[in-house]
Amino acid sequence: MSDCIFCKIAQKKVPAKIIYEDELAIALEDISPQAPVHTLVIPKKHIPTSLDIREEDNALLGHLFQIANRIACEKGIAKRGFRLVMNCNPESGQAVYHIHLHILGGRQMHWPPG
Ligand code: 5GP
Ligand code: ZN
């Protein structure tokens, strides 16, 4: 999608600190980190919200989780614990309408979330 910031990042039209890439997805460091580790895992396919995930995307979503798990292990937060978040629509705080998994870790998380 032409006016989507994450599509532009995936197409290298906008710079970002990309730490992983394959044919289906990228992982990049969040521009405004909310924890010592705050990495985003994004499919290259433009899917606006989690409500738009279709049956045909099931393997892609599993792939995003595999990437997130690997990054959590590599960054040393897997055993301590971390949070995977996908916001959906305005009351969740979703700001970018191209699905992304937030990997948040490196500090104590709280519940309920804000
Ligand atoms: P959301 O609120 O949609 O779940 O999360 C969007 C996330 O994307 C936010 O954490 C925000 O800091 C991050 N973000 C927004 N624009 C950019 C950008 O241009 N580059 C990077 N690296 N992160 C971004
Ligand atoms: Zn997009």
The 3-state DSSP class for residue 63 equals: helix
The pTM is what?
0.98
**Number of other residues whose CB lies within 10 A of the CB of residue 3:** 6
Give the C-alpha separation, 85 to 99, whole Å: 10
- pLDDT interval class at 27 (50, 70, 90): very high
Q: Whose CA is nearest to atom 20 of ligand 1?
A: 31
pLDDT tens digit sequence for 44-99: 999 999 999 999 999 999 999 999 999 999 999 999 999 999 999 999 999 999 99
Nearest one of 15, 38, 17 to 28, comparing CA atoms: 17
Enumerate residues with CB within 5 Å of ligand 2 (an ion): 1, 4, 6-7, 46, 98
Mean pLDDT of 5-25: 98
| 100 is known as an active-site residue | yes
Q: Which domains does the chain have, with CATH numbers?
A: 5-105 (3.30.428.10)
Counting from 1 in the atom list of ligand 1, the atom nearest the Cα of 96 is: 3
Could you tell me if 36 and 105 are in contact, meaning their C-beta atoms sit under 8 angstroms apart?
yes
Here the tokens at position 73 are 């292990």
- Whether 91 is in the pocket of ligand 1, judged by its Cβ within 6 Å, is no
